[in-house]
Amino acid sequence: MREIVKLKLTSMTQGGEALGRDENGRVVFVPYAIAGEQVIVEIIEEKKNYARARLVEIVTPSPARVTPRCPHFGVEPPPQPSPDAVRGGRNCGGCQWQHIAYDAQLKFKTEIVREQFARIGKFADAPVRDAIGMTEPWRYRNNVQFQLDESGRLCFRVFESHDLVRIRECHIIDPLLDEMFRALEFEGADFVEVMLRAGTRTGEKMIVLEGRDDEPPEISVDEPVSIAYRTPRGEIVPLVGRDALHEELRGRRFRVSPQSFFQVNTPMAETLIELVERYLAPRASDILLDAFGGVGTFGLLLASRVARVIEIEDLPSAVADAQANAVDLANVEFQRGKVEEILPKLKSKIDLVVADPPRAGIASAALAAIIAREPRALAYVSCDPATLARDARQLVDGGYRLREVQPVDLFPQTYHIESVSWFARE
C-alpha cells in the first residue's frame, strides 16, 4: 500500500536531496525538492532511521525554484512511451540541482559544508566562507563519461539507477565536448564507456573508449581528435592522434594522459590554485610537499615560489605526466607511492603541504605522517565535505588550527562541493 506523506522541508543535504520530518519525527529525504517547500511525497524506501521519498506534489514552492534548462532533467517519467527512455525514466543523473536558482545553490552548498563540519567534525563554529560561484554556471565540464545503449547511442545513467537515458543535449559540458558529442556515431559498437575530454584552453580533444575485448577496435574519424582504447585490464592503447591531451592553467601547459585526473572545471581550477597560494604564503626557503600531486597542478605552479617541491603520487600515468610537465623545473622531485608509505621515509624537512586527495579523503595514517612532520601550513583541496570534516578533526586534534574553509563551485547544477581549507600549525 502506498504511503503518502505531507512534509515541510527544512534543509538540503550532502547528497543533494531536501530533508524533512514527518509527524512522527522520521527523517525523509526527497530528491528534486528544495528546502523551505511544503510537498506531498510517496515513501519509496524505508530504513531504520530514515526514509526516502518520491516527490508527488509541490504544495508551496520555494522562491528559488526555477525551470530547468535541460529536457533530460526531471523526476517524473514522460506521459507517453518516449524514444529517450531506456528501461527507466527520462531524468539524467548528471545534474541534480537545475531546478534551483544559482544564487540559492551557492547558499545551500555553503550551509552543507558548515553542517558537515558541525556534525562530523564536531566544530562548533567552523570558519566557512560563502561559496565562490561562476559568472556563467553552464558549459563548464572539460570531461564527461557516457554509456552506450544496445543501439550504440550515448546515454547517461538515470538518477540513482543503473538504467540508461539517451541524451540529445547537455548544458554543462564545454562546447568542445558538445562538438564531439554531436558528431560521434557508435551504431553497432559495444563499449563499456565512452569518455570525452578536452583542453578548453588548447582546443585539443580526446575520446577514450573503454572496451570489453583486449583487441583494440578499428576506428575511423574525420575530426581532429585523439582516440585511445582502454582494455578490460586497464591498459591504454593509442588509436588515433596523440597519446595525451594538454590543458593550460595560469599560462602553464599540462600534459594529461587518458587515465590521469584533471579538474573538470578549468577556470575554477585556477581559483583553487589562487586560494592554495594565498593560504600557504610560500617563502623562498620553503620545501613544499604536494601530496596526491597528480599531474602537478599545484606543486608545479608554486615551484617558482619555493626552494623545492616534493610530489607524492600513486598513479603511474600521473607521475609520468607530472615529470613531463616539470621538464623545465630543476627544483621538483617525484616520489611514486602512497603518502603514508613515502612520507615517513623522507629525510627532508617539510614546511608546507598541499593535499588534493580523492573523494575518500586522506587516510588516517597519511594524516598522521603529515602531522608528524609539523609543516607550518597545510592547504587541503577537497571534493567531499564529509571526509574533509572528518580529516579536519584529526588535523586540529594533532595541533593545527583551522583558519578558513572556502567552498568553490566547480560543479554548478549539481550537489557536488569543492573547497580549499587552510590549516596552520599552532
User: For 58-78, how does the pLDDT look when each residue is reduced to its tens digit (9 = 90+)?
Assistant: 999 999 999 999 999 975 443
Question: What's the full length of the chain, in residues?
Answer: 426
What's the whole-number average pLDDT of the chain? 93
Residues 411 and 268: their CA atoms lie apart, in Å, by 9
238-254 pLDDT tens trace: 999 999 999 999 999 99
The span from the CA of 255 to the CA of 389, in Å, is: 32
Are 130 and 155 in contact by the 8 Å Cβ rule? The answer is: no
Overall CATH class of domain 1-64: mainly beta
pLDDT at 296 over 60: yes
Does residue 258 contact residue 208 with C-beta atoms inside 8 Å? yes
Structure-block grid coordinates of residue 196: 570525452
pLDDT in tens, 226-283: 999 999 999 999 999 999 999 999 999 999 999 999 999 999 999 999 999 999 999 9
Query: With bands split at pLDDT 50, 70 and 90, how would you rate the model's confidence at 87?
Result: very low
For the chain, percent of residues with pLDDT exceeding 90: 84
* Entry pTM: 0.94
CATH number of 111-135+247-425: 3.40.50.150
Where exactly are the structural domains of the chain? 1-64, 111-135+247-425, 143-244
One-letter-per-residue 3-state SS of the chain: CCCEEEEEEEEECCCCCEEEECCCCCEEEECCCCCCCEEEEEEEEECCCEEEEEEEEEEECCCCECCCCCCCCCCCCCCCCCCCEECCCCCECCCCCCCECHHHHHHHHHHHHHHHHHHCCCCCCCCECCCECCCCCCCCECEEEEEECCCCCEEEEECCCCCEEECCCCCCECHHHHHHHHHCCCCCCCCCEEEEEECCCCCCEEEEEECCCCCCCCCCCCCCCEEEEECCCCCEEEEECCCCEEEEECCEEEEECCCCCCCCCHHHHHHHHHHHHHHHCCCCCCEEEEECCCCCHHHHHHHHHCCEEEEEECCHHHHHHHHHHCCCCCCEEEEECCHHHHHHHCCCCCCEEEECCCCCCCCHHHHHHHHHHCCCEEEEEECCHHHHHHHHHHHHHCCEEEEEEEEECCCCCCCCCEEEEEEEEC
Over residues 156-190, the pLDDT tens digits come to 988 777 889 888 999 999 999 999 999 888 887 88
| 1-64 and 111-135+247-425, same CATH topology | no
Q: Which residue has the cell 567552498?
A: 407
The C-alpha cell at 19 is: 530533508
Pick from 165-169, 204-208, 384-388: least confident: 165-169
Backbone angles phi, psi at 173, to 5 degrees: -90, 145
Q: Please, what sign has the CA dihedral across residues 181, 185, 191, 197?
A: negative
Catalytic positions? 383
What per-residue confidence (pLDDT) applies to 89? 41
Question: How would you classify the pairing of strands 308-313 and 287-291?
Answer: parallel
